Amino acid sequence: MKGIIFTEFLDLVDSTFGIEVTEAILERAQVASGGAYTQVGDYGHGEMVQLVVALAEEVKVPIEQLLMLYGKALFARLVAIHKVDMSQYNSAFGFLLRVEDDIHRQVRKLYDKATPPTFLFDEIGEQRMVLRYMSHRGFGAVAHGLILGCAAYYGEDLVIERTALNESGTEVRFVLERQ
């Protein structure tokens, strides 16, 4: 997985919990890469799992909650770093419908090792949208956080229901309702 996902995670841990916590989780997790991530490098996604598990132990916050918080903060960062022109989408639903074609497809082209998730839309309405997240990584909670971050970006209030469709969480259903 791209290094940017790791560098942003560690920056967020720094700013939310303090640098001592970042150092403590790197010490605890003992990741194979050594933990000196660069934005353009590639690292096993298992390292992200190790870091989040270490953080959950260190700060005594459930893993699910940490992944969602991370996803939420990550959204605005990805948009800023990649200079995404957000004015072309006028709502969170509008953005989500294009994320696959406009963003993740570019990510695949730019970095040959990147494997961002796939989204399928089962229902597309003005107030309600049903989509499925598919990824071998099973990071539905991060996707949940990213969708929250996207809604926050547009100043929208979205109620999100998330259901794993299999045990490993590689397929997850999201029901989104605009308030």
- Contact residues: ligand HEM, CB under 6 A: 1-2, 4-5, 75, 78-79, 82, 84, 96, 99, 103-104, 107, 114-117, 135, 137, 139, 142-143, 146-147, 150
Nearer to ligand HEM, 19 or 159 (CB): 159
- Kindly report each contact of residues 117-121 with a partner whose C-beta sits within 8 Å and lies 24 or more positions away, as own/partner: 117/143, 121/97
CB of 168 to ligand HEM, least distance (A): 12
Long-range contacts of 150-153 (CB under 8 A, 24+ apart): 150/75, 150/92, 150/95, 150/96, 151/92, 152/72, 152/75, 152/76, 153/75, 153/76, 153/79, 153/86, 153/92, 153/95
Whose tokens are 């996207």? That residue is 150
Q: How far is the CB of 74 from ligand HEM (least distance, A)?
A: 8
Q: Which residues pair with 128 in a beta bridge?
A: 177
Work out how close the CB of 18 gets to ligand HEM at its nearest, in angstroms, rounded to a whole number: 26
Task: State the minimum distance, in angstroms, from the CB of residue 26 to ligand HEM.
Answer: 20
The DSSP bridge pattern shows strands 128-134 and 118-124 to be antiparallel
| Beta carbon nearer to ligand HEM, 23 or 161 | 161
**Which CB, 24 or 43, lies closer to ligand HEM?**
43
Q: How far is the CB of 4 from ligand HEM (least distance, A)?
A: 6
Q: Which C-beta is closer to ligand HEM: that of 13 or that of 142?
A: 142
Which residues contact residue 86 at a Cβ distance below 8 angstroms, ignoring those fewer than 6 apart? Answer: 79, 95, 153
Return the number of the residue (1 or 51) whose C-beta is nearest ligand HEM.
Answer: 1
SS3 78: helix
